[in-house]
Structure 1
Amino acid sequence: MTIAPDSARQGSPQYRAMRDIAERTWDGIPGKFEITEEGIVHDMMSPGGPHEATAAHVSRRLEKVMPDDLLAHTGTPDVEHEPKGILRHPDVIVIAWADLGVEGSVDPHALIAAIEIVSRSNPDNDWTGKTRDYPLLGIPIYAIFDPRTGTGAVLSDIHTTPDGPRYATRKDFVYGEDVTIADWTISTEGLPRYQ
């Protein structure tokens, strides 16, 4: 659900105000707050069950095949680009250990990939909003796992369009198939589904 007007652009005072509102409410209201060009997005449901289990499975499977200096992190750092007025919180980020050790938000240019587990309560945020915002932030690979349908997609190859940067390549997959994210291939066998 978007709860603020289209005023978050270019590190404006409106963006700072929305950032302050989101920070003050993170601990008191369930769910997740992000800031996009449309304003504050609140995913009202706290992730749990299949959502969290999928993030953990994907993280663990990636870390088994990645080099030791990289991490598939499921923690809490935000990815923020204040000049563009965007603050996002991916479910899993693939990043070098050295780039994670910063105070505050992570630089989106440090990410190798962002991975989202589609929310049952707000699927358009993952399939539409983040598909727009992640190439804008320069995140080279965006992988989506959808426990509602047992499907997903990996988006890559950012290119310029009249509407701004977009992913040029989309590879769809069905749970049970292997999926390649950046240089690493993992199984999607046995990933949980929403009931």
Structure 2
Amino acid sequence: MATILMDLPSAWDALDGVNLPRGYHVEITDGKIIMTPQGESRSDILLEAAPQIKKQLAGQGKLLTDVMIDFPSHLYGYAPDLTVVAPGSERNSRGRFEWHSLEAVIEVVSKSTRDNDFTKKFRMYAECAIPVYVIIDPSDNTCTIHSNPTRTGVYVDQEQIAFGEDLVLPLEGREIVVKTDGFPRSES
């Protein structure tokens, strides 16, 4: 995918030169800087899923975790839990990948990020035509795969799977299969 160099302001510009504390997931939503402590379930899921995805990409794309992505907005700066960057994508003049380089985004929700993951990120990712958006919800032991985005901010297709079933990421010309049987399960 070719990179379109744009001089759009990035929400991340507000944090240039700022030393951020370790152990926090930092994003910008509605122009507000949101710092969320990283939870154990989130960490366990990411440590389980990331090596599976990276191995299957086998050089056909790049896997990022908690890395700033430039979106076409000065009010939204997201650093998705896991991001699959399309093969051949290049960084912009700021050294970051842009929204149009993404093949899939995976977010692990927590009580404090629920609204962002299910509404604001859902809408932004669909408007930006990110082909696959997966929400992993440890509170109900499910993964929801959203695909076929529209510019109106919705995904047309949705599939929900339970932890223990295979999570299939339908990428361009290939599929990535993530075994979820090792994901920590909620007792509630």
TM-score class, shorter? 0.7 to 0.9
Q: Report the residue type matching 1:89 in the other structure.
A: A
1:72 maps to what in 2?
63
Structure 1 residue aligned with 2:169: 181
The normalised TM-score by structure 2 is 0.77
- Render the CA deviation track for 1:134-170: whole Å, top value 9, x for unaligned: 011121110111112211200001135xxx2321000
Q: Distance in 2 between matches of 1:134 and 1:156?
A: 10
Distance verdict in 2 for CA 1:123–1:50, change over 3 Å:
same
Q: Give the secondary structure class of the aligned counterpart of 2:124.
A: helix
Kindly provide the amino acid, as one letter, of the partner of residue 89 in structure 2: D
**Which residue is equivalent to 2:157?**
169
User: Structure 1's 148 and 41: CA in aligned 2 closer, same or farther, altered over 3 A?
Assistant: farther
Local SS of the residue matching 2:130: coil
Q: How does 1:1-195 map to 2 (within 5 A)?
A: 19-23=12-16, 27-28=20-21, 30-35=24-29, 38-40=30-32, 42=34, 44-82=35-73, 85-96=75-86, 98-99=88-89, 101-102=91-92, 103-160=94-151, 164-182=152-170, 183-193=175-185
Distance in 2 between residues matched to 1:67 and 1:19, nearest whole Å: 30
CA distance in 2 between counterparts of 1:49 and 1:194 reads: 12
**Structure 2 stretches lacking a partner, 5+ long:** 1-7
Q: Which has the higher helix share?
A: 1
Change in 2 beyond 3 A, CA 1:101/1:194? farther
RMSD between aligned residues: 2.7
Distance of 1:142 and 1:93 partners within structure 2: 10
- 5+ residue gaps, structure 1, are 1-10
Deviation per CA, 1:3-50, whole angstroms, max 9, x where unpaired?
Answer: xxxxxxxx6xxx76x644444656159441223xx33251x4321422
Query: 1:123, CA displacement in angstroms?
Result: 1.3
